[in-house]
Each structure stands twice: as structure tokens, then as C-alpha cells.
Amino acid sequence: MRGRIGRVVVVLALSVLASACPGGRGDAPFEPYLVVWAGDADRAHSDFLAVVNANPSSRKYGRVLATVPVRSRGNEPQELNDTFRYDGRVFASGTLGNRIFTFDLRDPEAPKLTGVTELADRRYWAPRGIASLPSGRVAVACPDRARHLGLPREITGAPGGLVLLDADGRLVRETSAASEESRGYVVAPSGATIARAAKTLITTSHAHGYAASAQGEAVPGITVQLWKTSDLTLKRTVVLDAGPRGEENLGPLTPRAMRPQPVAYVNTHEGGALYVSDSIGIDDPAFQLAFDFGAGSYPVGAAVTPNDRYYVTALSGKNQVVMLDVGDPLHPRLVSSVRLDRDPDPEGKTAGRPRAGGPGGLAMASDGSRIAVADYTADVPTYRRDGDHRVYMLRIDGETGQLRVDTAFRDEGTDEVGLDFDRAKWPHGTTGAARPRGLLFVAVPPAE
């Protein structure tokens, strides 16, 4: 009778509470699975998608239940779609491989690879952020033109663009991110999310230089772009102004939006700051500096709780995950943080032996109770930031915003806190260590 994790309960809950969302009916109230998009560490074997038990009440909590190799290596796995989809689809970007993978997770414990979209002969390369549109289609942000080298003329003269796929992963079209108002700026779509209240797709121009052909150093941008979700018409390119340090605006990376309010946040990777806009729904939007995480903090992933009360982001440079109270959206304040460069004590606080840390990938469960964090960022020709290849589960106190490491989420082999991807064996074979990056909580979609 036990079978799959909470299948009957989850299906009933989804059926009752579902409304309308990309690929189906609404936000899942509880997702007992965590999907991890990982690359083979030495790029000698296939990259893969892993399904992990994320149900705290299960005896198999933290166990890898299944893996799906994608039959290609060295893709440099980066992002998964930004929200759970009720059609069971999961989309994954392979930045160096110029591939977008489509998975079927209608049965999360028996996942399937259903398609691979090859961009090698297309106009835009290095797919990164993926956003599910209201239509069920997905927009994929691609920072570089095909065969990008990093020449001076390419820095502001070779803008990236978007790739639009249908719900089955088939290519619909490519769209340039260039516009008259973006001339002279780095235009490199990288992060992507939907602001439902404003019917707007938000993308960030983090940096050129993620394509396999790139040389030299990554060149960060300072702009955010707003698109109509209905037809992906580019509405505006917004320039972020620097703050007192003179560099806070460099490398906008992860966009996230509130739900009932047209408010959006963007963290800046090289700038180490957070920008906010409450005007994305008007003709002349603007972003303002809202919080300074500090030079060298390197914010990476981010999420906003379902009640729009708290904002969380990983600081790769400080080995921390921090929570901000955004009850006053324009004036966030720090309320809690956890460090991932030491073993946590039984209460989920820092205490034990040092670790490498390096949080990069981050995802929040739809009910806002859990956050998954992956200790790895990227390894591309122009940029490298490694970590200790672990996945942690964090718990959130919804009343106070306090974060803690969930010490019950343990590796099945070592019994240490956090799931260790530096292991020899996986369900698909003895392929060795892997680098976890993209994260997504999922549930069993309700039957049609």
C-alpha cells in the first residue's frame, strides 16, 4: 500500500487546490520529490537528471530514487524550468553542449528523457535560464550568439536571444534580444522568470562568454529586459544604476517576482547586490538598488516565498544562504542566514568541521517550507566556480523567516548531512562523481 511517496495524498491535494499555471492547473501545495540536474564531474560519462526523495516524513528521505542519463557528456548542466509544471515536463539547459533536454516526470520515480533540442546549428548558444509561459511553452535564455569568441566587437555588437519551445520541447522560434535602446550594452539573456501580475517575462543580461567557443574573460552586463508573455515581444531594456561602491549593478543574474504584486527582484552576481522594481507593469519601468550583500559575495540562485514575505538567495562567495524580509518590498532587511562551509550541529547551525561550501543552485518548494541548495555554480571557458558537490535541504520558519539546515536530509551512503554527489555509483551505473546544479521540487501530476 505504501508504494510511491504519498501518491494518493499528493494527487488529491493537487486536484483540489489546482487552479491555472504553466502546463496545467496551479501551484503544488506539497512536492515530495527533488529533481537535480547534474554533470559528470570529469565529463567522461553522461550527464544526468536525478530524482531524490524530498518527503521529510518518508523513511527514504534524502535517497536518490532514480536517474536518467541524457546520452551525452560535457553539457555543463545549468538550469531547470523555474516552476513545477502540471504536465509533468521538466526542461533542462546544457550550456556548453548547446542542448535543451525535455523529461517526462509524470511518474517521478520512473523519469524519462523524451527529447533533446540541439542548438548547434541555431543562431543562439549557451542556453541557461528557463521560464514556463502561461501557454505551456517555455522560453530559454541564451546569452551568446553562435560561435561566440569574445572579440571586442562582440561585447556590445552580438546580442543573445531567446529560444521558444513548445510543451513537448520542439523548437518554435528564436527571438533576438536586441533593440535600439540596448545598443551599446551587453545583451546576454541569462536568468529568466515570469512576473504573473504584470504578464511579463523578465530576463537578465548576466554575461557573454558561456558558449564553448568563448575565449578570454566573461564580460558582465548591467541590464534587465522585460517581454510580453503572450508573444515574447521585447517591451523594455532597463539599465541598472551603480551604487556607492560603483559596481553593484554588474552581472544581473537571477530574476524573481512576487505573485499578486507587480514587484520583481534581480540579484547581481559580480555586483553582489539586490535590485527591486515595483514598476514592471508600466511603460517606463525602473529598478533601484535595494540591498548590498557586499563585494565578492556572488549571489547566484534566488526565490520568493509564496506569501511574498521573504526573499532568499545563495551567496557563493560567502558560502551562505541568506533570507531577507521583503514585507516592505522596496526596503528589504536581513533576518537570517546559514553557512554551508562547515558541518551543521543537530539544530541546523554552524558547528563542525570545515567544508568547501560554494552554494550555487537554489530552489524553493511551492509551499515555501523547504529550500534545496546545490554546492556548485559553473565551469565554462570564461568562468569557473566550483563547490563541494553536495545538495542540502534548508527549512524555513514561515513566521520569523529563520533558516536552518535540515539535518534529517542525509546521504544514504555516508549518513552525513546533505546529499553527496561525489560518489561512485548511481542508479544508472558506476560513473563516479557528479556536479549538481539545477534544482526543482516536483509532485505527481493529477490524472487528467
pLDDT for the residue 285: 96
Asked which of 297-301, 342-346, 387-391, 438-442 is least confident by mean pLDDT, the reply is 342-346
Q: Which residues neighbour 189 within 8 Å (Cβ) at sequence distance 6 or greater? A: 128, 129, 141, 142, 143, 160, 161, 162, 177, 203, 204, 205, 225
Average pLDDT taken over every residue of the chain: 92
Please give the grid coordinates belonging to residue 322.
541568506
Higher pLDDT pick, 8 / 165: 165
Cα gap 235→336, rounded to integer Å:
36
Domain check: are 127 and 107 in the same one? Answer: no
The pLDDT-based confidence of 346 (bands split at 50, 70, 90) is low
pLDDT for the residue 237: 97
pLDDT for the residue 448: 62
Q: Confirm whether 99 is domain-assigned.
A: yes
The pLDDT-based confidence of 431 (bands split at 50, 70, 90) is very high
Higher pLDDT pick, 241 / 342: 241
Percent of the chain with pLDDT over 90: 87
Domain check: are 319 and 291 in the same one? Answer: no
Domain check: are 309 and 268 in the same one? Answer: no
- Calculate mean pLDDT across residues 293-309: 96
The pLDDT-based confidence of 13 (bands split at 50, 70, 90) is very low
Domain count, the chain: 2
Q: Confirm whether 87 is domain-assigned.
A: no
pLDDT for the residue 373: 98
pLDDT for the residue 388: 95
Domain check: are 347 and 277 in the same one? Answer: no
Domain harbouring 206, CATH code: 2.130.10.10
The pLDDT-based confidence of 398 (bands split at 50, 70, 90) is confident
Q: Confirm whether 85 is domain-assigned.
A: no
Grid cell 547581481 in the structure block, residue? 268
pTM: 0.93
pLDDT at 446 over 90: no
Higher pLDDT pick, 204 / 16: 204
- Calculate mean pLDDT across residues 9-34: 54
249 with 222: CB under 8 angstroms? Answer: yes
Q: Confirm whether 88 is domain-assigned.
A: no
Task: Please give the distance of CA 309 from its chain centroid, rounded to a whole number.
Answer: 20
The number of residues making up the chain comes to 448
Cα gap 240→289, rounded to integer Å:
8
Instruction: Give the residue from 46, 39, 16 showing the smallest Cα distance to 28.
Output: 16
Q: Confirm whether 187 is domain-assigned.
A: yes
Grouping H, G, I as helix, E, B as strand and the rest as coil, residue 433 is coil
Cα gap 340→140, rounded to integer Å:
30
pLDDT at 49 over 70: yes
pLDDT for the residue 16: 36
pLDDT at 5 over 60: no
Q: Confirm whether 86 is domain-assigned.
A: no
pLDDT for the residue 349: 59
Residue-number span of the structural domain to which 49 is assigned? 1-80+95-114+303-448
Domain check: are 263 and 354 in the same one? Answer: no
pLDDT tens digit sequence for 189-216:
999 999 999 999 999 999 999 999 999 8
Domain check: are 204 and 340 in the same one? Answer: no
pLDDT for the residue 78: 98
Domain check: are 139 and 267 in the same one? Answer: yes
pLDDT at 233 over 70: yes
- Among 275, 297, 319, which residue terminates a domain? 297
pLDDT tens digit sequence for 272-298:
999 999 999 999 999 999 999 999 999
425 with 65: CB under 8 angstroms? Answer: no
Domain check: are 60 and 100 in the same one? Answer: yes
Which whole-number Å values give the CA distances from 328 to 198, 220, 272, 325, 336, in the listed order? 19, 29, 21, 8, 16
Grid cell 514585507 in the structure block, residue? 327
Higher pLDDT pick, 448 / 292: 292
pLDDT at 217 over 90: no
pLDDT for the residue 399: 86
pLDDT for the residue 27: 52
The pLDDT-based confidence of 271 (bands split at 50, 70, 90) is very high
Cα gap 261→284, rounded to integer Å:
17
Amino acid at 414: T
Q: Confirm whether 182 is domain-assigned.
A: yes
Domain check: are 53 and 102 in the same one? Answer: yes
Q: Confirm whether 45 is domain-assigned.
A: yes
- Among 297, 313, 329, which residue terminates a domain? 297
Q: Which residues neighbour 391 within 8 Å (Cβ) at sequence distance 6 or greater? A: 34, 36, 52, 372, 373, 374, 375, 418, 419, 421, 436, 439
Domain check: are 144 and 101 in the same one? Answer: no
The pLDDT-based confidence of 413 (bands split at 50, 70, 90) is very high
- Among 297, 321, 349, which residue terminates a domain? 297
Domain check: are 320 and 279 in the same one? Answer: no
Asked which of 73-82, 144-153, 159-168, 344-353 is least confident by mean pLDDT, the reply is 344-353
Domain check: are 211 and 126 in the same one? Answer: yes
